[in-house]
Amino acid sequence: MPADRESRLASASTSGSGPAAEQDAFTPGARATFRREPRRIDPRSDRYGHRLAGPTRETVAPFEPRPHGIVPGVAQVPAGRQPIAQMGDGPPTGGHPETATVVEAALWRLGQMPIGTRFRFLEVDREGALTAHDELEARLVLL
């Protein structure tokens, strides 16, 4: 995929109340721009985490949660305020505020994006994430 072509990924609500567990830790402006503004796969990305360059994610107040379990797809925001989406070889624990979760059906696409690729997140609800999963499974059966 050319680096200047925008692709679209889905971000799912992990709790039905927002895109991630600590979503309310971010300013309203940061929450609004996360999906509206494009992101880019940063050159410092690797199989542990894809760094998502773009507008910084400002928190309402300094916030560093205690280390807790995370799964591939969780996008955490460390002190540099640029999200990092945890990939398949990422650590099983995290300690930064979570801003979004990439749905399982779209995580492979994020993992295949070359450095420099620009993309946007789309918010989907639980039903949309399950539908995307079912559609991916149906395509895989055809292979």
**The pLDDT value given to residue 19:** 61
The answer for residues whose C-beta is within 8 angstroms of residue 20's C-beta and 6 or more apart is 14, 74, 75, 98, 99, 100, 101
**The pLDDT value given to residue 16:** 26
**The pLDDT value given to residue 13:** 34
**The pLDDT value given to residue 137:** 92
E strand segments, the chain: 7-12, 39-41, 49-53, 68-69, 74-76, 84-86, 93-94, 98-102, 118-124
**The pLDDT value given to residue 9:** 52
* Weakly modelled stretches of the chain, pLDDT under 50: 1-8, 10-18
pTM, to two decimals: 0.79
Average pLDDT over the chain reads 79
Q: What is the pLDDT of residues 17-39, one digit of tens each?
A: 236 778 788 888 887 787 778 88
